[in-house]
Structure 1
Amino acid sequence: MTDRILVRGGRVIDPARGVDGVLDVLVESGYVADIRSRIDAAGARVIDAAGCVVAPGFVDLHAHLREPGFEQKGTIATETEAALRGGFTTICAMPNTRPAPDCGPVLESIADRFRRDGRVRILPIGCITRGREGRELAELAELAAGGVIAFSDDGSPVADPRLMRNALALAGALGLPLSEHCDSPEMHTGGAMNEGAVSERLGLSGQPAAAEAAAIARNIELAAAAGARLHIAHVTTARGVELIAEAKQRGLPITCEVTPSHLFLTEDAVAGGGPEPAYDTNAKINPPLRTEADRRALLAALDDGIIDAIATDHAPHAIEDKLLEFEDAAFGISCFESAASSLLTLAARGELRLERMVQALTSAPAACFGIDRRIPGAGRLEPGVSRDLVILDPAAEVTVDPARWASKGKNTPLAGQRLRGAVRAVIFDGTLAWEREGAHV
């Protein structure tokens, strides 16, 4: 490893600065030092990036590190190593830990762990309500003073509309967004997958698309009433993106994200590709994988800028969490290490523009949570300011092999699939932090 690196001849894409061209990038003294054609840097380590894409380090608005409280699923060390391998250099950690960061002292303890054990930059998300139980507000002012980047109860939607409006108003006064999992649990009985033809065929309980749409509509109106910033986590339905588009047309400060899983997969992954239903618990995620029509609507909304960001919702689980009857298995897909390859495969198919993909992984998420104001250079390649970049090889042919993953969570429905494109190398904090070897991700 060296602190003087010349990345030569790659296609540099920096949406924040409008850069898209074949250029050299020099990294030295911990920063991106220069970006131009034909840099002469005698003595630097040279990475030949011909045919590759050079982009800012990825920014993830939605990830689960599991520690503290659930170390059998993942630890800060293992999951941030997985993030690094996936090209993510700045990640926002959801608060579904034990204890949950609902007050200043707990946040401080967790943040200390992040600083000590993280392989990438970790920004904490604080709870909306105490214990994420939806009964009373957490200590939002303490959490803001302690450095949280946003507030969320993650997979526990705030059901009480008055409490939600108060939370939005206070978060707005503190200058922070509120990230909400939009679901109406009263519309289903803990549905295990999308409600539709596949759930009927498999005999599984379903979550209707209307449960997401109804919650999105309610939360948009509450945000409008409170004059606050609302971020809608992992939107999955065509109707959901229509509601978000309408809110943006009204000029409301609404942002949203979509996961690589919902862009790449559909509810059919639960059944598998064989003649007999697979009931693949690795495809069980909340919100659930939806229909092909929903997937295409998500891709179109991403292309149009209605969906701002791609966020992983990386959710590692121990093997025993998934080796259960489908209804009893845990929700969640581990995807730090496969995210870039699944997205690059969509680009190779012509379903996703490469430039938009890079924007949705870099400058767009950095803007959603104001990360670009808190961390100079985050989500962009600015000489003298930025410290992170990722090198992508769009032509690489790789096989998903979770047994090789750094993440403790091997729970992916992509195991064994051949994908097109992969992360080749990652520079973090001005240092070459990881390089891929072999034909696996």
Structure 2
Amino acid sequence: MKRVLCWIGGIVLVLAAVLVIVISQLDTEFISGQISAAVEKATGTPVRFASPPELSLLPPGAKFASVSWDGVQDGQGMRFTAKGGEAHLELEPLLHGELVIGEVRLDSPSLSLLLPEGKAAAPADAASGNAAGNKPGSEVLLPLELGRLTLSKGSLHVEKGGERYDLRDINLSVENLRNGQDAVLRCDFTYDLLTAGRTLAGTLALDAQAGLFGMAPRVQNLSLTITPSRRGLLPAGFGPVQLQGDASLDTAARQLHLSRLSLSVPHGRVGLTGTLGLDGPTFTGSALLEGSPRKLASALGVELKPHAQDTLLFKGSVAWEGDTLALSQCKGKLDATPLRAELRLHFRDVLAMEGSLSLGKLQLDEYLPLPESGKGAGAARAREGKAVTTADKEDASGWPMINLRLAMSSLGWKKMHLRDISLALSGSKGDYRL
């Protein structure tokens, strides 16, 4: 038995030595030249390696230093560089004739896109091909499976006319990207966007578990956090904005099922559950709004009178079809004031609103800004006056159609109180009746 084991060990050593010799004799410059020629044939531009890649057999793969590809011509196109990286294939699938990438790592990758102004129309044959490949009920499969993809300290730069989009310090990790299985995605980066003459900046972090390939693509445990800087889309007082949820896509019925979707800012949250139809589109489900009114107002620079409860809660059913949004069976409370609502909005050539709102006891001065927080009140009133003057000069044909009713048990302002109030507002095109 010992003799057999010795023979087996000797054979393994000989094979290992032969493999080492074979690898050492491989012409890596020839291989990198073949790769560059293949890329040039496919794209019209060769890929360039700073030095020939280092090949390995166990596991089969390659490690490379600086690499670049430049497809920019006449100020348009795409450019890619990376300081280094490596790629390995999984050995066992390779023995069965299957190509499975075990790991790909890119160090400091940089991608620049210089786009022409305007939107180019997609070729008709490409559009028809996409339609044929994405028929309802057809299963989407990966051409290649991937064990792990890692990008560290990457960057993305996009320019289109006067708009600019910069993503920096991109760290991306994708694990287990395989057919019929859930992949784990993690990504974070710093963004700096210049669009419509406005600059937005901040950081973004994404963490999700997703099964994107198969009959029922799904996303679970989604966590997306955006932290705007002083030039962010939201006021800095709102702090980080976080999106969380779980969703699945029914490709046969062309429906997206939202089992949990929540958009949160400090002191406030909007929740949504239901089904989104992709043909139309349509939505049926429920919505939830909760938060702290005074803390949210403070984040906007407005101070309100303190209240013991400081609570906003509003929930109800939501239906959206065509150009109509309906909110039904809505109930909640503002501090200690109960409220109910039924509202329907029609987004047509002219906005139409109809419905009813019922409130309990409301003390109005508790929701008006305190005097010390109204330092810019004079300027605000001046701007409001100009806006009203401008609006009076505009054509009133675009004003909304309104048919709203309000019922309130009590309305107070300082020492004045009104009880059992019922109001109706209706009309259109600037001709309204109260």
TM-score, normalised to structure 2's length? 0.26
Larger radius of gyration: 2
In terms of fraction of residues, the more strand-rich structure is 2
